[in-house]
Structure formats: C-alpha cells, structure tokens
Structure 1
Amino acid sequence: MKKTILTLGLISALFSNCKEPDHKAPISEERETIGGLDEHDINNEQHTFENSWVNEITLDNGKKWSANTETTEGVAKMIELIKTNETTSVEDFHLLAKKLNELKNVVIKECTMKGASHDNLHIFVHPLIEKIEILSKVSTIADGNKVLSSIKINLEQYYNYFN
C-alpha cells in the first residue's frame, strides 16, 4: 500500500512539473477540397472507390460462398432501391444514403453466416459501409454520381462471390 501511494505521488510530482517551454499558435493547414472531399480524404478513400476489395476476397475452392437468405435479399433490395431512386440533387443522394444504410443495417443484423464465408462477407461489406457513409456527405451531384456508381459496382459484385 505504501509503495502504491509513493509511486502515485512520484508520478503526480513528475507530471505537475511538466511545462511546455513555448506556447506556439496552432498551425492552420489549408487543404484544397474537391467537391467537399479534401485531397487527403480522396487519397485515403481511393481504394474504396476502386473496389480493390475484390483483390482480397476469395471463393470457396472455386465456388461461390453460401450466404444466408437475408443477406442476399438485402443486397437485392439495395440494388433495386438504387435503380428506382431518382437522384437529381445532393439531398436526393443523402436520402438514398440513409435508405441504403438502413438496408445495410438489416443485412448486418440478420447475418447468420460463420467461418470463412462470414469473413469474406466482411471483405465485401466493409467498403460498402464506407461508400454509403461518403454518399451521405457528398456536396455535389458529380460526387454523388461517382460514389453511387462505385456502390452499384460493389453490390453487383456480390453475386460473383455469394449465392
């Protein structure tokens, strides 16, 4: 007990004597934005838009993975939602993102897959989650179309790996 109190006392003394020698003004970093996404964000998300997840996903010994019905139905509903939704404004893209997110949440909640099929489903779903999030924040119609195109490709690729 004495050692603990002594140790805490020493640590407190050390931290109370720590002072910053200079208080410099925070550096303001200006970033050029493109359609609401700055260059840093675009570089970080480039792999997402390119659908590079297809380089990570595998088949089940050359065959499609068996997926639960709710997952396959959820993907089909997302594809249908995109086909039937008119996106002519930024607000339309935001509303579509909200609806896609709700369907994606059902897919995740209802998933009963296990093992390698489940692991590969995660490889498929993770970039989809990122894209839906990005779609919910687009600030131009051009950006919305770019993200939505990538989401469509992502969803259509599902059928190459799962049945």
Structure 2
Amino acid sequence: MDLNRDSSNEAISIMDTLSIKLNVDEKWIANLETEEGVLKMDSIISAFKSSNQTTYKTLGIKLSKQTSYIIKHCSMKGEPHDQLHVVLVPMLDEISILKEEEDEQKAKAALHNLEQLIDAYFKFFKID
C-alpha cells in the first residue's frame, strides 16, 4: 500500500468537496486579522517542514492558537463570512487531527490536507 498516494487521494477528495465559490469571478474580501492568521499558519507550517520536525501535536497546538485568533477577531459578515467557513471548518478538523493523532501517517495526511485548505483560502480570499 502506498501511503503517499492515499494521502494525496484524501486531499483531492477534501478539495473536491469544498463548495466554495468566487464572488462573481472575484475573490471574497477577508478582514485583516483573518488574512494575518492564515498567513501565520502558512509560515508555521513552512518552518515546521523546513526544520524536519515530526512533533505534529505541537504543530497542531500552534496552529490552533492561530485559528482561535482568526475566530476571535473575525468581523466578516454575510456571504464572505459564510464562504470563509467552507474553508475554515475543515481546517479546524485537520488541526484537531494534528493535535490528537498518534499515527504519524495520519498526521502527515492531515498536514497535507491543511496545506491544501490554506491554498484554497488564498485562491478565494483577499484583503481589500
């Protein structure tokens, strides 16, 4: 069984199930704190990967602090807010796996899925 292949298939299925849409061919406007939080998450993941760390639980805790920051400071309303949740809720699920999963392959898959979700955020959102 090729575990890398399975991880990739899981990510594809997660991305395929996102029902996010563009705002009439434009990106949705996110508030500054949301953008900062997602950028910080991306940078935490990059630092984690570049240092070849394998403590996924610690990574999950750091990322969880960023999602808490995003949630606490979110001032988005209406459709942009609803569309953010399409990406943010699965992010929270993947971060929970990182914090709780003992199986390294499952944690790696969660990290890969999270990276795909962060990419989706940047594809569909911008700050004004």
Aligned identity (percent) is 30
Could you say which structure has the larger radius of gyration? 1
Which residue in the other structure is 1:113 paired with? Answer: 76
Change (3 A) 1:136 1:100: same
Matches within 5 A, 1:95-106: 95-106=58-69
Q: Given residue 69 of structure 1, which amino acid in structure 2 is its aligned partner?
A: L
Letter in 2 for 1:102: K
Higher relative helix content: 2
**Partners of 1:52 and 1:97 in 2: how far apart?**
24
1:129 alignment partner in structure 2: 92
Structure with the bigger RCO (C-alpha within 8 Å, sep 6+) is: 2
- 1:2-44 CA-to-partner distances (Å, cap 9, x unmatched) read xxxxxxxxxxxxxxxxxxxxxxxxxxxxxxxxxxxxxxxxxxx
1:96 to 1:151, Cα distance in 2 relative to 1, 3 A: same
Q: What's the offset of the Cα at 1:87?
A: 5.3
Runs of 4 or more, structure 1, over 2 Å off, are 46-54, 86-89
The corresponding residue for 1:157 is 120
Please report how far the alpha carbon of residue 147 of structure 1 lies from its aligned counterpart in structure 2 after TM superposition.
Answer: 0.9
Q: Distance in 2 between matches of 1:52 and 1:110?
A: 29
The amino acid of 1:97's aligned partner reads G
Q: Please tell me the root mean square deviation across aligned C-alpha atoms, in Å.
A: 1.9
2:15 match: 51
The yes-or-no answer on 1:72 pairing with 2:23 is no
How many pairs are equivalent? 115
Gaps of 5+ in 2: 1-9
CA contact (8 A) 1:124 1:158 kept: yes
